[in-house]
Every structure is written in structure tokens, then in C-alpha cells.
Structure 1
Amino acid sequence: MSLLFLSFLLLLLLGTEVGFAMVIAAWLGIEFKTDRFVDLVMLPTSMLSGVGFYAFVQITLFILAGEIMNRGGITRRLIDFAGVWVGRGPGSLGQVSVGANVMMAGISGSAVADATAIGKAMIPQMRDKGYPVAYSGAAIAAGALIGPIIPPSIPMVVYAQMANTSVAKMFMSGLLPGLLLAIGFMAICALIGRARRFPAGPKVDWRTRLRVSADAIWALLLPVIILLGIRMGLMTDTEISSVAVVYALIVSMVVYRSLKLRELPAILASAGRSSAVILFLLAAAAPFSWLVAESQIADRLVDLIHVISTNPLVVLILINVFLLLVGLILEPLPAMIIFLPALLPVGLDLGIDPVHFGCVVVINLMIGLITPPVGLLLFVVAGIGKIPFMAVCREILPFLGWSLAVLLLVIVFPSLALWLTWGI
């Protein structure tokens, strides 16, 4: 087992892609497994089984819905809507970025997709208005963090499958924490805007607000349909993702008429590439996580934690400290698939609600996306805006502090995650 982790970490340090590093490390772990013989056919077999879950269809469909939105003008209308309604004070464009990300989060479920879509639209605009470009990137990265927390959420689909719990409950568990994050980020933008005397937004009359809102109403209805479908049980999880795709197509092609039929092949190809990356990570992590489970790490971890404490709150905090360290190295999905088989039994053994546990894990690992020095969202916005990476890292610190505060609140007060799941 030490060979498995050592080879994995060495490959990461050498710059190997995470998916390939897990496959090679799993191959070495199987090849040199000493306690019993394992046929190497286990490697491709477990990789196939790792993506053989019907629930994962949602991942591809939500990514496709997000691609259609970006190409069909829906994203631009959401940004315009946030622009006319969100604060007019100094630093208001930072608040617009966060607000637009919240509305995008109700559709795509992908932090990277949200950061890319909002970043391409907002960073040039904020630069032209005199905002420091590093701050602009940090505000957009922080807002994009909310994407996989507010439903729908790709990481929560994966967790629900691994924990054998309800996808609908997982989706609803992230709504209040996501809104808490958004409120805090907007407050930070307002405070920084006043302190640094950023330019204020122009005054917008009510006629303009109503016109922009009327133009955006079809775009705004999609997250409402998704939330109502989940909360009221009107559709299954997979049906909701299918409805999101069909609705985005109809609105983009028929209502807004900003998407042409000839553009669909490119959209499908782009969504296919994005889906392939995620599904390959899930497939690559399957043999790796099987070896972790085979080594009985979960039993050893339960025994070790029982020695330290049997208080569920203390244990949950210890697990979160561990996951925050993991998030410095690994992206959320590989981290979940590698370590959850060992951590889930610990939570269950201490009576921690699996939905609460999952919400905490997802928030924790999403924080890793904005944690220097390896935060993926920081690299995304730095690349989009051609911003020095370390400058973005400095500007992200206030947003990172609030993210950790929300994580602690959800740990201490489980009702923040569980209140909206009652009755589902």
C-alpha cells in the first residue's frame, strides 16, 4: 500500500496528469501486491465498472446544458440581469460577478465551466472600468466555487453514488451553504470596493431594469425549474438533467434565436471532451480506490480515530483538516473517489448523517479549488485574464477566509445542510 501512494505522489511531482498517475500507481500496486495474487485484468475491469453507473449520465447532460447556455446567449443575459439588480456602490462589478456565478451555478454544476464563462465576459469589462485585474480574477474564482455546491452539482452526484444516498437530498443540502457563501462574497466585494475606492456602477432606471429582466426571464426560469423539480419530486435526477438540455436548446434556438443548428456539432464535441475528462478521472480512480479498500485502511482509520476521540464533532473537524490538506494536491473528484471509501465508514460508525457528511466533504474539497498554491480555479482565471498567478493568490485570501468560516458553520450546525432535505 505504501508503494501505491508513494508512486502516485512521485508521478504527481513529475507533472503526470492525475488520471494517468492513478492508473500507473494502481498497476504498480496490483503488480507488486504481496498478500495475494491479483490478475492484471482487474485494472481495466474496475476502470469500466467505475463509470458504469446510470447516475453518471447526469454529468454529461448538465455539462451539455452549460455549453448550450454559453453558446446560446443565456450566460450573457444572466450577467446583464445581475448587472442591473446587484449593488451600485464601489466594487459593484465584483458583486455582479458573484451574482452571475450563483445563477450559473443553478444550471451547470461545474466550477471550471462557470469560471470560464463568467471570466471571459467579466474580466475584460472589469479591467476597462479600472478594477485591478488580479482582484477581478479572484472575485470570479470565488464566485465559481459556488457552482458545485448549489444544485445541480457534479461532485454531489458522484458522492451520492458512492455513499448510496439520494442525489436529490445531496442537491438540496448545498443550497443554503451556497447562498451563505454568495452573501459573504458580495459583502467582501463591497468592503474591498469602498476601501480601495473602486469605481461605482452607473445608476440604472426602472425601465432598463424591467427590460433586461424581461429579456432574461427565460434564462432565469431554468434554475427555478431544476430546483422545483428536485424539491417537489416532479422528476427524477436524470430527467431533470435531460429537461435542462432540452430547455436550453429551445430557449437558445427558438426564443433568443442566438444559436444556429450548424453550431450543435461543435457544442456536442466540446461537451464530449469535458465529459470525457471527468469520466476518465472517475474510471482511473476506481482501481486505485479498490486497492485502498482492499488494504483495510478504513478499519485502521476507524481504530485510530477512536483512540483520538469518539465525539462526532471532533472527528468531523479532524476529517476536514485532512481533506483540506488533500485539496492542496488533488482535484475534488479524484480526492473523493480515493479517500471516501476509507472516510465514509468512519462517519457512519459515529452516527454522522451521510447527507451532512457529503455536503461538508463537497464544500471542503471545493475550497481546495481556490487554495494557493495549486487551486485550479486560480489557474483558470489567471489564464483567461493573463494575470500573474501569485497576484490572484494574494487577492483570493479574504474569499478563502469566508469559505472556511462557512465550512465551519456547516460542520457545527448540520441543519444548514439538512433543513431543505426534510420530506424528500
Structure 2
Amino acid sequence: MISPAGTLRIEDPISGRSLAGVARRLDRLLATVVENVAALILLAEIVILGAGVTARYVFQSPLVWSDELASILFLWLSMLGAVIALQRGGHMRMTGLVARASPQVRALLEALAITTSLAFLVLVAHPALEYAQDEGFIVTPALEISNAWRAAALPTGIVLMIAAALLRLVRHGSAATVAVAALATVAVIGAFWFAGPALRPLGQLNLLIFFVGVVAFCVFAGVPIAFSFALATFGYLGLTTSTPIVVIVGRLDEGMSHLILLAVPLFIFLGALIEMTGMARAMIQFLASILGRVRGGLSYVLIGAMYLVSGISGSKVADMAAIAPVLFPEMKKRGAREGDLVALLSATGAQTETIPPSIVLITIGSVTGVSIAALFTGGLLPALVLGAALCFVVWRRYRHEDLRHVAKVPKREIARLTVVALPAIALPFVIRTAVVEGVATATEVSTIGIAYSALMGLLVYRQFDWRRLRPMLIETASLTGAIIFIVGCATAMAWGLTQSGFSQDLARLMTAMPGGRYGFLLVSIVAFIILGSVLEGIPAIVLFGPLLFPIAKSVGINEVHYAMVVVFAMGIGLFAPPFGVGYYGACATSKINPDEGLRYIWGYVAALLVGLALVAAIPWFSTGFL
């Protein structure tokens, strides 16, 4: 069982009801201010990007400043969203072991999750302020303002998270429990600090100590995933290298500032809008009428829907956010287990990594010189192979599903539901056409979807509850903060791995492996599954693509074929627990406990591995249509 990060279930206040009451009032005040500001920023992002599309495509007069302003606001949205997530317990974490502990131990571990996160925030607060001050010397090219306006989001968000964490401790923890947790956190950090001189000579053994040992311990102890990554990176760079700590803040900024990630909140909001306007209900009724008498029918729809919309937003999490709210409610009504739903959603995230327009494929082309058009063509069929493998697992799991309670829908009713659902069904095609025809970028296209959904809700389905907009905006900000903060911390960890020389050593090791091209493919699969579990796809490709693609070509492997193998291997690592960030992104967007999916996901992972083996062994799947 999982509980969100920072949620303490301890009843006694620290020092009387008055202090707890003051803490509750301060927490409500902080929440009100941060939530309202985050909601306004998200609304501004939608307007700015929508105005950019309109100005460029309709009036042929692009707004040169729109992307820059959107990028500045996005960092603020992410940091404020991370604050909201901490207040609401929205940062994802594994608590499988915590839930099995005794009440006293569980209470201590819950408190430890907050104090550990708080320790990182306190340690990085001053470097974050230094980083923002240093950025003040940089002037943005379009708006011509100091970049400190953007970078100030980092220290501001960190200070607000410190306040939120302290208030949670005051409101929910007993004095003894909090004191023990705080002392344990300080003691462990102090022990590592004093051990620093002994750790430096260990060289790359420190990679195992910090990026395997520390991360694994924190994750299984219930510390939020993002803070587990961040603490390991902070400890490795601070204790075993001479790297200034401010560099960690820079890498955190880099990971959270990719403009393409702006698609995440916009598609999350689009998913909520689809549900609120009735488009989701119309689509589900239509799909259920067709596949209602097919065992596991909506699971097949989920696989096909992810294939259809994948790559539209440029973010896999955003793709999942557009699908899960539409399909999951009806699938639950039909008896599907939440764990199986999130496991299949996560598996489809890995399955559709090569569907164009894939940002990972674009990155491969840009850093290796492989034709992007060839990569787009080569990515379609391999994704079908992995999709077929997932469908086999669905068939196995649902072949005995009881459909007696599902009534057969008459043909006349199916026709009526088809007409009603057509505006909703058209949405993915509207979005994909806008990208392919150059109407909007992968980041901007979600605003077209938002405008389309709003119009359909107001004019066609006549369902548009204005009172729900503010809660939807706040919930979107919270999910965005939880997801993007994990990405930022993972990017910082990726940079730490690079500085260790690990990438060059890995390339040399892989080159020396026996077995020719198949041996190289096998080693590549294993290596990129591991890399995918700790790195985002883009950082991993940037780090290792220029090193490994020439080696693959020299041993006779077609570069497009190798790209498909590498991308799928990374995808499996990215979306498989316990370390895969994508798995927690799937859980966050679908609002399902990560522990729920653990018992179901391994069958899907096995299917993905079988599909990957077929793609690796049969190059024609990747090159047959080139």
C-alpha cells in the first residue's frame, strides 16, 4: 500500500492544540496563495501558447516572445506545483515496506520521509539562491529581461516547500517521533559527511554506494522518488567530487526547463477538460458499445489509443494523461483492477516510444546524423510488434472474463452513439493533423485541443461547469509539479553519472563484448534498460548516442534498427519499477497507488521483452519500409 509523500498519519500535535491550530491556519493560507498563483500561471500559459499559434498561423505574424515567456512561467508553475504536491501529499513514493511495518515503525518512517526531504531542501536552498543571483547577469534574447526572473522560481519554490514540510510536521507529528526522525536524518547525513575523505579514493565504487545503495534505501524506506534521486546526487557530487553544489541546481533547472515538457500540464488539463465536457463519456459509450462483448475489450482500446495519440505531445506522461481519464472510469466499472490498469498504461508508454513524432527519435537524429524521416518510418511497425505482445497478455488475463452482466447493444444504438461520439473521436486526429501540417508545435498543439474541447463542451455536448475550472487548474499544477520535479532530479543524477566517466567506460566495455553484432545488441539492451531506469530518454541518448551508434554501424547493425532497439530498451527501463520514473508518472497521471501495479506489471514487462527480442532479431521490422 502507498500513501503520497509527506502524509503523516500521526494524531498527537507537537506541543498542544494551539500550535497545531496555528499550523493549520498558516498551511491553509500558504495553500490558498500558492494554488491561486499556480492556477493563474497555468491559465496564462494556455493563453500565451494559444495566442502564439493564432498569430503565426492565422495572421502570419509570429510572436517572437511567446515561447520565451512560456518557458519562464513554466519553471514557476513547476516549482509552485511541487509545493502544492508536497502540501497535498502528491509526490510519488513507494511504501510497500512501510505499510507492512508496525504502527510505531510506520509512524517513524512517515516522519522520516518528510525530514529527509526537508534535509535536501535546506541543503540546497542557499545554492539555489546563488544560482538565481548568477543568472541575473544573463539577459533573455526576446524579452530582454534578466534571467533572474525565471531562475528565482527555484529558491522561491524550495523555501515554500521547506515551509510546507515544517507545517506538516507540526500538524501531524508527535514531538518524540519527529525528534527521532530528525535526529536520524542528521546523523546519517553527518556520517556521510565525515566519511567524505574515505569515500573519495573509492572512485566509481561510489556510483554503487550513492546511485544504487542510497537511492534504493530511500525509495524503499518511503522517501519521495524525486528527493531520493536528489539526495543521492547531492551526496555523490558533494562528498566525492570537487563540483560546486550550485551545479546541482543548474542541472535541476535544465531538467525542468525543457519547453517540450510544457505539454505535460496542458495535456493533463486537456484530459480533465475532456472528462468535464462529456466528450470522454461519449467516447467511452461508443467504444463500449463496439467492444462491450469482447473479453478485455477496453484494454485493447487502451493499447490502440496510446498508439494513436503517442508522440502528439512530445511527452509520454502527457500522452498518458490524455488517455487515462477517458478510459479508466469505465474499465473500473467493468471490474478491471486499478493495479492492472496502471501496469498496462505504463507498458503502453514503453511500447509506443518509437511512434512519430517522437522527441527521442528526433534527438537520436540530431546527435547521430541518422535520417529523422527514416527513423519515423522505421518506428511504426516495431511498435505494432510490441503492441501485439501486450495484447496477448491482455487476452490471457481476460479470457475468462464474465460478460453476462454486459448487455448486447443493438445496431441502431451503436449508430446513434457513433454520431454522438464523432466530435470526441475526431480530437486525436485534429491534434495530430495540427502537428503534421505545421499548424502548431508539439508543445502548442495541446492548446488547440483545449480550445476544441471547450467549444465542443459549450456548443455540442452542452456540458461546461465553470465552477470546476479552478480545481482542475490547481490539480493540474499539483500533478505537474510532482512529475516535472522528478524529471529535474533525474536529470541532475544523469549529469552526475556523466561526470563520473561512467558513459565512456560503458562504451569501452560494450565494444569488448564477444558475439559480434548480436552480442553487441544484447549488451546494448541490458545497458539501456538499466540506463532507462535512471535517466530520461533524451539525456541518455545525448550521453551515449554519439559513442555507441558508430560502434553499432562498424559491427554491421543498421542505424535505424539499432535506434529502435535502444529506444525500446530505454522505454522498458523507464516504465518498469522500482526505479523507472515513467512508471511513477503513469501512477501520478492516473492517480493510482504505485504499489497496486507491482503484482501486474511484470507480465507486461515480459511481453515487452519478448517483443523487443523479436525486433532485435528481425531487422526487417525496423528497415522493411525504408
Superposition TM-score tier, normalisation by shorter sequence: 0.7 to 0.9
CA contact (8 A) 2:350 2:572 kept: no
Identity %: 23
CA contact (8 A) 1:8 1:25 kept: yes
Following the alignment from structure 2 to structure 1, what is the Cα–Cα distance between the partners of residues 621 and 436?
Answer: 16
Cross-structure match for 2:546: 345
Q: Cα offset for 1:210?
A: 1.5
Cross-structure match for 1:145: 347
3-state DSSP of counterpart to 2:443: helix
CA contact (8 A) 2:265 2:476 kept: yes
**Which residue, out of 224, 243, 252, partners 1:17?**
224
**Which residue, out of 399, 416, 429, partners 1:224?**
429
Following the alignment from structure 1 to structure 2, what is the Cα–Cα distance between the partners of residues 106 and 88?
Answer: 30
**Which residue, out of 486, 496, 503, partners 1:291?**
496
Following the alignment from structure 1 to structure 2, what is the Cα–Cα distance between the partners of residues 265 and 415?
Answer: 50
**1:198 maps to amino acid:** D
Structure 1, unpaired ranges of 5+:
128-132
**Kindly tell me: are residues 220 and 248 of structure 1, through their superposed partners in 2, closer, same or farther at Cα, counting changes over 3 Å?**
same
String of CA shifts for 1:80-105, please: whole Å, max 9, x gaps.
Answer: 22212237344545545555665665
**Kindly tell me: are residues 253 and 168 of structure 1, through their superposed partners in 2, closer, same or farther at Cα, counting changes over 3 Å?**
farther
**1:405 maps to amino acid:** V
**Which residue, out of 509, 519, 523, partners 1:318?**
523
**2:347 maps to amino acid:** L
Q: Number of paired residues?
A: 405
CA contact (8 A) 2:389 2:607 kept: yes
Q: Which stretch shows the higher mean deviation, 157-166 or 38-47? A: 157-166
Alignment of 1:155-194 (within 5 A): 156-157=358-359, 160=362, 164=366, 175-190=380-395, 192-194=397-399
Query: What TM-score results when the alignment is normalised by the length of structure 1?
Result: 0.76
Q: Cα offset for 1:306?
A: 1.3
Cross-structure match for 1:130: none
CA contact (8 A) 1:81 1:212 kept: yes
**Kindly tell me: are residues 255 and 104 of structure 1, through their superposed partners in 2, closer, same or farther at Cα, counting changes over 3 Å?**
farther
Following the alignment from structure 2 to structure 1, what is the Cα–Cα distance between the partners of residues 484 and 304?
Answer: 29
Q: Which stretch shows the higher mean deviation, 184-193 or 342-351? A: 184-193
Q: Cα offset for 1:279?
A: 2.1
Cross-structure match for 2:612: 407
Q: Cα offset for 1:212?
A: 1.3
Following the alignment from structure 1 to structure 2, what is the Cα–Cα distance between the partners of residues 379 and 64?
Answer: 15
**2:330 maps to amino acid:** M
**Which residue, out of 454, 470, 475, partners 1:270?**
475
**Kindly tell me: are residues 255 and 163 of structure 1, through their superposed partners in 2, closer, same or farther at Cα, counting changes over 3 Å?**
same
Following the alignment from structure 1 to structure 2, what is the Cα–Cα distance between the partners of residues 414 and 229?
Answer: 32
Following the alignment from structure 1 to structure 2, what is the Cα–Cα distance between the partners of residues 154 and 96?
Answer: 19
**Kindly tell me: are residues 112 and 55 of structure 1, through their superposed partners in 2, closer, same or farther at Cα, counting changes over 3 Å?**
closer
Cross-structure match for 1:65: 270
**Kindly tell me: are residues 357 and 314 of structure 1, through their superposed partners in 2, closer, same or farther at Cα, counting changes over 3 Å?**
same
Q: Cα offset for 1:418?
A: 6.4
Q: Cα offset for 1:308?
A: 0.7
Aligned-CA RMSD value = 4.2
String of CA shifts for 1:226-273, please: whole Å, max 9, x gaps.
Answer: 333444555432333332332233333433232323322222222222
Following the alignment from structure 1 to structure 2, what is the Cα–Cα distance between the partners of residues 308 and 278?
Answer: 37
3-state DSSP of counterpart to 1:224: helix
Higher RCO (Cα < 8 Å, 6 or more apart)? 1
CA contact (8 A) 1:101 1:118 kept: no
Following the alignment from structure 2 to structure 1, what is the Cα–Cα distance between the partners of residues 272 and 595?
Answer: 28
**Which residue, out of 421, 427, 445, partners 1:240?**
445
**Is 1:304 matched up with 2:505?**
no
3-state DSSP of counterpart to 2:444: helix
Cross-structure match for 1:363: 568
Query: What TM-score results when the alignment is normalised by the length of structure 2?
Result: 0.54
**Kindly tell me: are residues 93 and 277 of structure 1, through their superposed partners in 2, closer, same or farther at Cα, counting changes over 3 Å?**
closer
